[in-house]
Structure 1
Amino acid sequence: MVARSETGKIIARVEFTEDVQGDDVTMRLTYRFVDGSIDDETTTYTQQGTFRLVRNHHIQQGPFFAKPIDFAVEAATGTATTRTTDKNGKIQVESEHIDLPDDLANGFVGTLLLNVSPNTAPFRAGILAPVFGGRLIRILVSPQGEQPFQRAGQTLKATVFRIHPELGGILGTIATLLGLQPKDVMVWVLEGETPAVMRVVGQLGGSGPVLSSELEGTGFGK
Protein backbone atom coordinates (compact mmCIF):
# COMPACT_ATOMS: atom_id res chain seq x y z
CA MET A 1 0.00 0.00 0.00
CA VAL A 2 0.94 3.64 -0.36
CA ALA A 3 -0.11 6.58 1.80
CA ARG A 4 -0.90 9.93 0.23
CA SER A 5 -1.31 13.39 1.68
CA GLU A 6 -4.51 15.35 1.17
CA THR A 7 -2.90 16.84 -1.96
CA GLY A 8 -2.36 13.36 -3.42
CA LYS A 9 1.41 13.21 -2.92
CA ILE A 10 2.86 9.83 -1.89
CA ILE A 11 4.48 10.37 1.51
CA ALA A 12 4.80 6.82 2.87
CA ARG A 13 4.99 3.17 1.91
CA VAL A 14 2.93 0.72 3.93
CA GLU A 15 4.02 -2.80 4.86
CA PHE A 16 1.74 -5.47 6.34
CA THR A 17 2.65 -8.91 7.70
CA GLU A 18 0.52 -11.56 9.40
CA ASP A 19 1.52 -14.69 11.28
CA VAL A 20 -0.98 -17.32 12.46
CA GLN A 21 -0.14 -19.77 15.24
CA GLY A 22 -3.19 -21.86 16.13
CA ASP A 23 -5.89 -19.43 17.25
CA ASP A 24 -3.42 -16.57 17.71
CA VAL A 25 -2.87 -14.04 14.95
CA THR A 26 -0.05 -11.50 15.05
CA MET A 27 -0.20 -8.58 12.61
CA ARG A 28 2.30 -5.82 11.99
CA LEU A 29 1.42 -2.67 10.07
CA THR A 30 4.25 -0.24 9.33
CA TYR A 31 4.20 3.16 7.63
CA ARG A 32 7.65 4.25 6.45
CA PHE A 33 7.61 7.94 5.55
CA VAL A 34 9.84 9.63 3.01
CA ASP A 35 11.00 12.04 5.75
CA GLY A 36 12.24 9.12 7.88
CA SER A 37 9.25 9.01 10.24
CA ILE A 38 7.69 5.68 11.16
CA ASP A 39 4.35 4.43 12.41
CA ASP A 40 4.76 0.83 13.57
CA GLU A 41 1.94 -1.17 15.17
CA THR A 42 2.07 -4.84 16.20
CA THR A 43 -1.09 -6.58 17.39
CA THR A 44 -1.84 -10.09 18.59
CA TYR A 45 -5.41 -11.30 18.96
CA THR A 46 -7.24 -14.61 19.27
CA GLN A 47 -9.98 -15.82 16.95
CA GLN A 48 -11.91 -18.43 18.94
CA GLY A 49 -15.43 -17.69 17.76
CA THR A 50 -15.02 -14.08 18.85
CA PHE A 51 -12.02 -11.81 18.46
CA ARG A 52 -10.13 -10.93 21.64
CA LEU A 53 -7.11 -8.68 21.94
CA VAL A 54 -4.00 -10.23 23.48
CA ARG A 55 -1.56 -7.34 23.15
CA ASN A 56 -0.90 -4.23 21.09
CA HIS A 57 2.22 -2.09 20.71
CA HIS A 58 2.09 1.16 18.78
CA ILE A 59 5.08 3.40 18.01
CA GLN A 60 5.07 6.76 16.23
CA GLN A 61 8.28 8.75 15.85
CA GLY A 62 9.89 11.22 13.49
CA PRO A 63 9.18 14.71 12.14
CA PHE A 64 5.77 13.78 10.69
CA PHE A 65 4.36 13.35 14.21
CA ALA A 66 3.90 16.33 16.52
CA LYS A 67 4.40 14.10 19.57
CA PRO A 68 6.11 10.68 19.59
CA ILE A 69 4.17 7.67 20.89
CA ASP A 70 5.40 4.38 22.36
CA PHE A 71 2.34 2.76 23.89
CA ALA A 72 1.60 -0.88 24.70
CA VAL A 73 -1.32 -2.73 26.25
CA GLU A 74 -1.54 -6.28 27.62
CA ALA A 75 -5.20 -7.24 27.65
CA ALA A 76 -4.97 -10.17 30.09
CA THR A 77 -3.50 -8.02 32.87
CA GLY A 78 -5.04 -4.69 31.86
CA THR A 79 -1.59 -3.12 31.83
CA ALA A 80 -0.98 -0.02 29.71
CA THR A 81 2.67 1.00 29.35
CA THR A 82 3.92 4.33 28.04
CA ARG A 83 7.58 4.91 27.14
CA THR A 84 8.89 8.44 26.76
CA THR A 85 12.36 9.92 26.27
CA ASP A 86 13.32 13.04 28.20
CA LYS A 87 15.50 15.88 26.91
CA ASN A 88 18.61 14.06 28.12
CA GLY A 89 17.77 10.94 26.14
CA LYS A 90 16.77 8.90 29.18
CA ILE A 91 13.88 6.50 28.63
CA GLN A 92 11.10 6.67 31.18
CA VAL A 93 8.58 3.85 31.53
CA GLU A 94 5.18 4.29 33.21
CA SER A 95 2.61 1.52 33.60
CA GLU A 96 -1.01 1.79 34.67
CA HIS A 97 -3.69 -0.81 35.36
CA ILE A 98 -6.96 -0.27 33.50
CA ASP A 99 -10.14 -2.34 33.59
CA LEU A 100 -10.49 -3.25 29.92
CA PRO A 101 -13.66 -4.32 28.09
CA ASP A 102 -13.84 -7.67 26.29
CA ASP A 103 -14.41 -5.89 22.96
CA LEU A 104 -11.16 -3.90 23.06
CA ALA A 105 -10.05 -3.69 19.41
CA ASN A 106 -6.72 -1.85 19.37
CA GLY A 107 -4.92 -2.67 16.13
CA PHE A 108 -7.46 -4.99 14.51
CA VAL A 109 -10.54 -2.91 13.64
CA GLY A 110 -9.84 -3.68 9.97
CA THR A 111 -10.07 -7.40 10.78
CA LEU A 112 -13.49 -6.85 12.31
CA LEU A 113 -14.66 -5.15 9.11
CA LEU A 114 -13.53 -8.15 7.06
CA ASN A 115 -15.83 -10.35 9.12
CA VAL A 116 -19.12 -8.43 9.05
CA SER A 117 -21.70 -8.31 6.27
CA PRO A 118 -22.14 -5.16 4.15
CA ASN A 119 -25.61 -4.63 5.63
CA THR A 120 -24.57 -5.13 9.25
CA ALA A 121 -26.15 -2.89 11.86
CA PRO A 122 -23.91 -0.19 13.35
CA PHE A 123 -21.85 -1.55 16.23
CA ARG A 124 -19.42 -0.30 18.84
CA ALA A 125 -16.04 -1.47 20.09
CA GLY A 126 -13.53 -0.28 22.66
CA ILE A 127 -10.22 1.44 21.97
CA LEU A 128 -7.55 2.34 24.51
CA ALA A 129 -6.26 5.70 23.34
CA PRO A 130 -2.57 6.46 24.04
CA VAL A 131 -3.25 9.64 26.03
CA PHE A 132 -2.92 10.38 29.75
CA GLY A 133 -1.44 6.92 30.31
CA GLY A 134 -4.28 5.24 28.40
CA ARG A 135 -7.92 6.28 28.23
CA LEU A 136 -10.83 4.14 27.07
CA ILE A 137 -13.04 5.42 24.29
CA ARG A 138 -15.74 3.83 22.16
CA ILE A 139 -15.85 3.79 18.40
CA LEU A 140 -19.08 3.56 16.41
CA VAL A 141 -18.73 1.57 13.17
CA SER A 142 -21.42 2.14 10.52
CA PRO A 143 -21.73 0.86 6.93
CA GLN A 144 -22.11 3.66 4.40
CA GLY A 145 -23.10 1.71 1.28
CA GLU A 146 -21.03 0.67 -1.72
CA GLN A 147 -18.62 2.56 -3.95
CA PRO A 148 -17.08 1.42 -7.24
CA PHE A 149 -13.32 1.49 -7.78
CA GLN A 150 -10.90 0.48 -10.50
CA ARG A 151 -8.26 -2.24 -10.26
CA ALA A 152 -6.37 -4.10 -13.00
CA GLY A 153 -8.77 -2.78 -15.64
CA GLN A 154 -11.83 -3.98 -13.74
CA THR A 155 -14.60 -2.05 -12.03
CA LEU A 156 -15.26 -3.54 -8.60
CA LYS A 157 -17.34 -2.49 -5.62
CA ALA A 158 -16.27 -1.97 -2.03
CA THR A 159 -18.38 -1.54 1.08
CA VAL A 160 -17.54 1.72 2.83
CA PHE A 161 -17.49 1.86 6.63
CA ARG A 162 -17.34 4.96 8.83
CA ILE A 163 -15.51 4.73 12.16
CA HIS A 164 -16.56 7.50 14.53
CA PRO A 165 -14.62 8.01 17.80
CA GLU A 166 -16.89 8.66 20.78
CA LEU A 167 -14.70 10.29 23.40
CA GLY A 168 -17.27 11.46 25.92
CA GLY A 169 -16.67 12.65 29.47
CA ILE A 170 -13.73 14.79 30.50
CA LEU A 171 -11.55 13.38 27.69
CA GLY A 172 -14.03 14.61 25.09
CA THR A 173 -14.24 18.02 26.75
CA ILE A 174 -10.45 18.41 26.83
CA ALA A 175 -10.09 17.23 23.22
CA THR A 176 -12.72 19.72 22.08
CA LEU A 177 -11.13 22.62 23.97
CA LEU A 178 -7.69 21.81 22.57
CA GLY A 179 -8.96 21.19 19.05
CA LEU A 180 -7.81 17.55 19.23
CA GLN A 181 -11.11 15.80 18.52
CA PRO A 182 -10.11 12.88 16.24
CA LYS A 183 -11.73 12.81 12.83
CA ASP A 184 -13.85 9.96 11.49
CA VAL A 185 -12.02 7.22 9.61
CA MET A 186 -13.39 5.80 6.34
CA VAL A 187 -12.54 2.23 5.30
CA TRP A 188 -13.24 0.56 1.93
CA VAL A 189 -13.60 -3.25 2.11
CA LEU A 190 -13.73 -5.52 -0.92
CA GLU A 191 -16.32 -8.18 -0.14
CA GLY A 192 -16.36 -11.77 -1.38
CA GLU A 193 -14.60 -15.05 -0.67
CA THR A 194 -11.33 -13.24 0.06
CA PRO A 195 -12.31 -9.87 1.56
CA ALA A 196 -9.63 -7.20 1.76
CA VAL A 197 -9.18 -3.66 3.00
CA MET A 198 -8.63 -1.61 -0.15
CA ARG A 199 -8.44 1.90 1.24
CA VAL A 200 -8.31 3.77 4.55
CA VAL A 201 -8.76 7.54 4.86
CA GLY A 202 -8.08 9.06 8.27
CA GLN A 203 -5.52 10.05 10.86
CA LEU A 204 -2.88 7.68 12.18
CA GLY A 205 -3.64 6.95 15.80
CA GLY A 206 -6.41 9.57 15.91
CA SER A 207 -4.22 12.64 15.48
CA GLY A 208 -2.26 14.56 12.88
CA PRO A 209 -2.95 15.06 9.16
CA VAL A 210 -5.46 12.94 7.27
CA LEU A 211 -3.87 10.32 5.00
CA SER A 212 -5.31 8.18 2.23
CA SER A 213 -3.77 4.70 2.32
CA GLU A 214 -4.67 2.40 -0.56
CA LEU A 215 -3.44 -0.60 -2.48
CA GLU A 216 -1.20 0.35 -5.38
CA GLY A 217 -2.93 0.08 -8.72
CA THR A 218 -6.38 1.02 -7.43
CA GLY A 219 -8.38 4.09 -8.41
CA PHE A 220 -11.26 5.56 -6.42
CA GLY A 221 -11.97 8.78 -8.29
CA LYS A 222 -12.83 11.96 -6.48
Structure 2
Amino acid sequence: MLQTIRGHRITSRLTYHFKDGSVDDETTVFTQGTVFHLLSDHHTQQGPFFSKPTHFSLDEAGNLSVRTLEKDGKKKVETSHLDLPQDTCNGFTGTVLLNVAPSMAPFKLGFVASSGKGRLINLSVDIVGQQPFSPILGVHRRATVFRLHPELGGIAGVVAPVIGKQPKDIYVWILEGEVPGLVREIGPLEQDGPVVSIEPAGASYPPAELVKK
Protein backbone atom coordinates (compact mmCIF):
# COMPACT_ATOMS: atom_id res chain seq x y z
CA MET A 1 0.00 0.00 0.00
CA LEU A 2 1.37 3.39 -1.05
CA GLN A 3 -0.03 6.79 -0.13
CA THR A 4 0.98 10.28 -1.19
CA ILE A 5 -0.36 13.48 0.35
CA ARG A 6 -0.62 16.95 -1.17
CA GLY A 7 -2.46 19.32 1.14
CA HIS A 8 -5.83 17.71 1.85
CA ARG A 9 -5.58 15.45 -1.21
CA ILE A 10 -4.66 11.78 -0.66
CA THR A 11 -3.72 9.30 -3.40
CA SER A 12 -3.82 5.74 -2.13
CA ARG A 13 -2.80 2.64 -4.10
CA LEU A 14 -3.37 -0.86 -2.72
CA THR A 15 -2.09 -3.85 -4.69
CA TYR A 16 -2.39 -7.57 -3.95
CA HIS A 17 -0.11 -9.94 -5.86
CA PHE A 18 -1.18 -13.60 -5.90
CA LYS A 19 1.09 -16.61 -6.32
CA ASP A 20 -0.90 -17.67 -9.40
CA GLY A 21 -0.10 -14.33 -11.09
CA SER A 22 -3.44 -12.66 -10.34
CA VAL A 23 -3.47 -8.98 -9.38
CA ASP A 24 -5.95 -6.81 -7.49
CA ASP A 25 -4.90 -3.18 -7.96
CA GLU A 26 -6.88 -0.17 -6.73
CA THR A 27 -5.94 3.52 -6.85
CA THR A 28 -8.18 5.96 -5.02
CA VAL A 29 -7.97 9.74 -4.73
CA PHE A 30 -9.87 11.47 -1.93
CA THR A 31 -9.68 14.57 0.21
CA GLN A 32 -9.55 14.72 3.98
CA GLY A 33 -10.55 17.70 6.06
CA THR A 34 -13.51 17.82 8.38
CA VAL A 35 -14.92 15.01 6.17
CA PHE A 36 -13.58 12.50 3.64
CA HIS A 37 -14.65 13.02 0.02
CA LEU A 38 -14.10 10.68 -2.94
CA LEU A 39 -12.52 12.20 -6.06
CA SER A 40 -11.86 9.05 -8.11
CA ASP A 41 -11.48 5.29 -7.84
CA HIS A 42 -9.84 2.92 -10.35
CA HIS A 43 -9.93 -0.78 -9.53
CA THR A 44 -8.53 -3.61 -11.67
CA GLN A 45 -8.83 -7.35 -11.01
CA GLN A 46 -7.32 -9.91 -13.34
CA GLY A 47 -5.89 -13.41 -13.30
CA PRO A 48 -7.07 -16.94 -12.44
CA PHE A 49 -8.19 -16.03 -8.92
CA PHE A 50 -10.99 -13.80 -10.27
CA SER A 51 -14.10 -14.85 -12.18
CA LYS A 52 -13.21 -12.51 -15.07
CA PRO A 53 -10.88 -9.57 -15.73
CA THR A 54 -12.58 -6.36 -14.61
CA HIS A 55 -11.64 -2.67 -14.66
CA PHE A 56 -13.84 -0.32 -12.64
CA SER A 57 -13.55 3.46 -12.92
CA LEU A 58 -15.56 6.02 -10.93
CA ASP A 59 -15.24 9.80 -10.51
CA GLU A 60 -16.75 12.27 -8.06
CA ALA A 61 -19.36 13.38 -10.61
CA GLY A 62 -20.79 9.84 -10.58
CA ASN A 63 -19.51 8.81 -14.01
CA LEU A 64 -18.92 5.06 -13.95
CA SER A 65 -17.27 2.67 -16.39
CA VAL A 66 -17.01 -1.10 -15.92
CA ARG A 67 -14.92 -3.00 -18.47
CA THR A 68 -14.89 -6.80 -18.40
CA LEU A 69 -13.57 -9.64 -20.54
CA GLU A 70 -16.26 -12.30 -20.89
CA LYS A 71 -15.62 -16.06 -21.02
CA ASP A 72 -16.17 -16.07 -24.79
CA GLY A 73 -13.30 -13.59 -25.16
CA LYS A 74 -15.51 -10.60 -25.94
CA LYS A 75 -14.84 -7.28 -24.26
CA LYS A 76 -17.82 -5.68 -22.56
CA VAL A 77 -18.07 -2.03 -21.52
CA GLU A 78 -20.88 -0.73 -19.32
CA THR A 79 -21.15 3.00 -18.58
CA SER A 80 -23.62 4.84 -16.39
CA HIS A 81 -24.12 7.89 -14.23
CA LEU A 82 -24.99 7.70 -10.55
CA ASP A 83 -25.98 10.40 -8.08
CA LEU A 84 -23.35 9.68 -5.45
CA PRO A 85 -24.05 10.42 -1.78
CA GLN A 86 -21.45 12.49 0.04
CA ASP A 87 -20.37 9.45 2.07
CA THR A 88 -19.39 7.25 -0.91
CA CYS A 89 -16.32 5.41 0.34
CA ASN A 90 -15.00 3.28 -2.53
CA GLY A 91 -11.31 2.63 -2.00
CA PHE A 92 -10.95 4.12 1.47
CA THR A 93 -13.41 2.27 3.70
CA GLY A 94 -10.52 1.15 5.91
CA THR A 95 -9.40 4.76 6.32
CA VAL A 96 -12.89 5.70 7.48
CA LEU A 97 -12.89 2.91 10.08
CA LEU A 98 -9.52 4.10 11.38
CA ASN A 99 -11.02 7.52 12.03
CA VAL A 100 -14.31 6.71 13.76
CA ALA A 101 -14.88 6.04 17.43
CA PRO A 102 -16.53 2.67 18.17
CA SER A 103 -19.29 4.62 19.95
CA MET A 104 -20.39 6.00 16.56
CA ALA A 105 -21.52 2.58 15.34
CA PRO A 106 -23.87 1.56 13.91
CA PHE A 107 -23.78 3.81 10.85
CA LYS A 108 -24.00 3.51 7.06
CA LEU A 109 -21.70 4.37 4.17
CA GLY A 110 -22.40 4.73 0.47
CA PHE A 111 -20.63 2.31 -1.88
CA VAL A 112 -20.73 1.59 -5.63
CA ALA A 113 -20.62 -2.12 -6.49
CA SER A 114 -19.09 -3.00 -9.86
CA SER A 115 -21.70 -5.55 -10.98
CA GLY A 116 -23.38 -4.81 -14.32
CA LYS A 117 -23.55 -1.08 -14.96
CA GLY A 118 -22.69 -0.48 -11.32
CA ARG A 119 -25.04 -0.34 -8.38
CA LEU A 120 -25.19 2.13 -5.51
CA ILE A 121 -25.63 0.31 -2.21
CA ASN A 122 -25.21 0.98 1.48
CA LEU A 123 -22.63 -0.62 3.73
CA SER A 124 -24.19 -1.02 7.16
CA VAL A 125 -21.37 -0.83 9.72
CA ASP A 126 -21.63 -2.18 13.23
CA ILE A 127 -19.36 -3.66 15.89
CA VAL A 128 -19.52 -7.36 16.69
CA GLY A 129 -17.05 -7.30 19.58
CA GLN A 130 -13.37 -7.27 20.44
CA GLN A 131 -10.82 -10.01 19.86
CA PRO A 132 -7.27 -10.56 21.13
CA PHE A 133 -4.39 -11.11 18.73
CA SER A 134 -0.59 -11.22 18.80
CA PRO A 135 1.15 -8.96 16.25
CA ILE A 136 4.44 -10.63 17.19
CA LEU A 137 5.34 -13.53 19.45
CA GLY A 138 4.86 -12.64 23.12
CA VAL A 139 2.95 -9.40 22.48
CA HIS A 140 -0.82 -9.32 23.06
CA ARG A 141 -3.30 -6.71 21.87
CA ARG A 142 -7.08 -6.39 21.45
CA ALA A 143 -8.77 -5.14 18.30
CA THR A 144 -12.31 -3.93 17.67
CA VAL A 145 -14.06 -6.02 15.01
CA PHE A 146 -16.32 -4.10 12.60
CA ARG A 147 -18.83 -5.85 10.35
CA LEU A 148 -19.69 -4.31 6.98
CA HIS A 149 -23.01 -5.63 5.69
CA PRO A 150 -23.93 -4.79 2.06
CA GLU A 151 -27.54 -3.61 1.79
CA LEU A 152 -28.84 -3.94 -1.78
CA GLY A 153 -32.14 -2.17 -1.16
CA GLY A 154 -35.33 -2.38 -3.21
CA ILE A 155 -36.68 -5.63 -4.59
CA ALA A 156 -33.12 -6.91 -5.09
CA GLY A 157 -32.54 -6.71 -1.35
CA VAL A 158 -35.61 -8.84 -0.74
CA VAL A 159 -34.90 -11.46 -3.39
CA ALA A 160 -31.11 -11.76 -3.01
CA PRO A 161 -31.07 -13.73 0.29
CA VAL A 162 -33.74 -16.08 -1.09
CA ILE A 163 -31.78 -16.97 -4.23
CA GLY A 164 -28.43 -17.01 -2.47
CA LYS A 165 -27.08 -13.82 -4.08
CA GLN A 166 -26.80 -11.66 -0.97
CA PRO A 167 -23.18 -10.38 -0.88
CA LYS A 168 -21.15 -11.73 2.03
CA ASP A 169 -20.33 -9.54 5.00
CA ILE A 170 -16.81 -8.15 5.44
CA TYR A 171 -15.11 -8.09 8.84
CA VAL A 172 -12.36 -5.61 9.69
CA TRP A 173 -10.13 -5.63 12.80
CA ILE A 174 -9.07 -2.15 13.99
CA LEU A 175 -6.39 -1.70 16.64
CA GLU A 176 -7.33 1.45 18.55
CA GLY A 177 -4.93 3.90 20.14
CA GLU A 178 -3.03 7.10 19.39
CA VAL A 179 -2.06 5.63 16.01
CA PRO A 180 -4.83 3.16 15.07
CA GLY A 181 -4.14 0.33 12.66
CA LEU A 182 -6.09 -2.01 10.39
CA VAL A 183 -4.78 -5.42 11.42
CA ARG A 184 -7.06 -7.92 9.70
CA GLU A 185 -9.81 -8.24 7.11
CA ILE A 186 -11.97 -11.26 6.27
CA GLY A 187 -14.32 -11.20 3.29
CA PRO A 188 -14.54 -11.61 -0.51
CA LEU A 189 -12.56 -9.45 -2.93
CA GLU A 190 -15.29 -9.70 -5.58
CA GLN A 191 -19.00 -10.47 -5.63
CA ASP A 192 -19.58 -14.24 -5.31
CA GLY A 193 -15.82 -14.69 -4.82
CA PRO A 194 -14.20 -16.81 -2.11
CA VAL A 195 -13.74 -15.41 1.38
CA VAL A 196 -10.11 -14.50 2.05
CA SER A 197 -8.26 -13.48 5.20
CA ILE A 198 -5.82 -10.58 4.92
CA GLU A 199 -3.47 -10.03 7.85
CA PRO A 200 0.14 -9.06 8.61
CA ALA A 201 2.71 -11.82 8.22
CA GLY A 202 3.68 -13.32 11.57
CA ALA A 203 0.55 -12.22 13.43
CA SER A 204 -1.58 -14.85 15.19
CA TYR A 205 -5.31 -14.80 15.91
CA PRO A 206 -7.70 -17.08 17.79
CA PRO A 207 -10.45 -18.77 15.74
CA ALA A 208 -12.67 -16.09 14.23
CA GLU A 209 -15.81 -17.04 16.17
CA LEU A 210 -17.17 -13.52 15.62
CA VAL A 211 -17.37 -14.13 11.87
CA LYS A 212 -20.51 -15.66 10.42
CA LYS A 213 -19.82 -18.46 7.93
TM-score between the two structures when normalised by the length of structure 1 = 0.86
Whole-Å Cα distance in 1 between the matches of residues 104 and 71 of structure 2?
49
Tell me, what secondary structure is at the counterpart of 1:219?
coil
Does 2:48 align with 1:63? yes
1:160 is aligned to 145
Q: Which residue of 2 aligns with 1:108?
A: 92
Percent identity at matched positions? Answer: 50
The answer to whether the 8 A contact 1:119-1:143 is kept is no
The answer for the alignment partner of 1:203 in structure 2 is 188
Consecutive unaligned residues in structure 2, runs of 5 or more: 208-213
Report the Cα offset of residue 176 of structure 1.
Answer: 4.0
Distance 1:205 1:66, change over 3 A: closer
Which residue of the partner structure matches residue 80 of structure 1?
Answer: 64
How many angstroms apart in 2 are the aligned matches of 1:163 and 1:87?
Answer: 31
Conserved 8 A contact 1:39-1:60: yes
- CA change 1:88–1:212 in 2 (3 A) is closer
1:111 is paired with a residue of what secondary structure? helix
Other structure's SS at 1:58 match: strand
The one of 100, 111, 128 aligned to 1:127: 111
Aligned residue for 1:105, secondary structure, equals coil
Deviation at 1:62, TM superposition (A): 1.1
Give the CA deviation at 1:146: 1.5
Residue 87 of structure 1: how far off its partner (Å): 7.2
Structure with larger RCO (C-alpha < 8 A, sep 6+): 1
SS of equivalent residue, structure 2 residue 94: helix
Of 87-96 and 166-175, deviating more is 87-96
Q: How many residue pairs get matched?
A: 206
Shift of 1:30: 1.1
Specify which structure has the higher proportion of strand: 1
TM-score by length of 2: 0.89
Question: Once superposed, what is the RMSD of the aligned Cα atoms?
Answer: 1.8
